Amino acid sequence: MLKGKTALVTGSTSGIGLATARALAADGANIMLNGFGDKDAIEKERAALEKEFGIKARYSPADMSKPAEIAAMIAATEKEFGALDILVNNAGIQHVASIEDFPTEKWDAVIAINLSSAFHTIHAAIPGMKKRKWGRIINIASAHGLVASAQKVAYVAAKHGIIGITKVVAVEAANDGITCNAICPGWVLTPLVQKQIDARAQASGQSPRDAEIALLSEKQPMHSFTKPESIGALAVFLCSDGAATITGSSYSIDGGWTAQ
């Protein structure tokens, strides 16, 4: 379905981003990977994408907190592949602390990476999509784009903001063949969440498995994690012809978290 299209997934060296890049590649899209991590491990992932799915994959080490690096990454993607058709804004970090203890530099980092980066990528990528009259923009928000949790002021602000960006871009590009949607996952077991489980286990003296169950049951009626691959499958659907008029929407995939 996506043969001949090119997808850039920010923060795709791990977790949800990597699973989404793999799902898009499995559907035929060429891939620009991005994110931090061990150089050899990233090269192994890149080469595996090409071998498994018969597509072209490249990697950009651009730091999503640096607007100039973001602009250069979009330009490099368009140069390398001839176009950027699918943009998945996924890179994200977390910091957990009450507002009075929240360090200013952590606030700035979360807002830069989880929110402003999506402005910068879309700002740079949308002119090419408009010219070609086709584009799919998928913003990985969160249940925290719809509801709050204590101790996550920057993350919740950024994720609510990304849903705002999603709606504005959807409205502005409605007649340019471009859709823009958000995906709002609940708990997905990735390194980002594992850190929170480990911190809870340490603070409470619980076993890692008990800390996992406590974390899940606090928010989700369904006591199981969403698989990163399921986020990838939803992203592929949002790129399909069947989703051509879905725009400005926020898709919950959260085990019932925001149904309550």
Burial class of residue 175 in the structure, from the number of CB atoms within 10 Å of its CB (0-12 exposed, 13-18 middle, 19+ buried): exposed
State the minimum distance, in angstroms, from the CB of residue 177 to ligand NAD. 26
Instruction: State the first-to-last Cα distance of the chain, in angstroms, to the nearest integer.
Output: 36
Looking up tokens 């499958």 gives: 233
State the minimum distance, in angstroms, from the CB of residue 174 to ligand NAD. 25
Provide the edge-to-edge strand list for the sheet that holds 250-253: 57-60, 30-34, 6-9, 86-89, 135-140, 178-185, 250-253
Of 34 and 247, CB closest to ligand NAD: 34
Beta bridge partners of 89: 139
Instruction: List, in sequence order, the alpha helices (H) in the chain.
Output: 15-26, 39-53, 67-81, 104-111, 117-132, 153-172, 191-204, 208-219, 228-239
Of 66 and 130, CB closest to ligand NAD: 66
State the minimum distance, in angstroms, from the CB of residue 210 to ligand NAD. 18
> CA torsion 194→90→33→49, rounded to 10°?
70
Of 10 and 30, CB closest to ligand NAD: 10
d(CA 209, CA 194): 11
State the minimum distance, in angstroms, from the CB of residue 240 to ligand NAD. 21
Q: Which residues bind ligand NAD (CB under 6 A)?
A: 11-17, 34-37, 63-65, 90-93, 113-114, 140, 142, 185, 187-188, 190-193
**Which residues form the catalytic set?**
155
In single-letter form, the type of residue at position 176 comes to: D
Of 59 and 187, CB closest to ligand NAD: 187
Of 149 and 177, CB closest to ligand NAD: 149
State the minimum distance, in angstroms, from the CB of residue 14 to ligand NAD. 4
d(CA 83, CA 125): 9
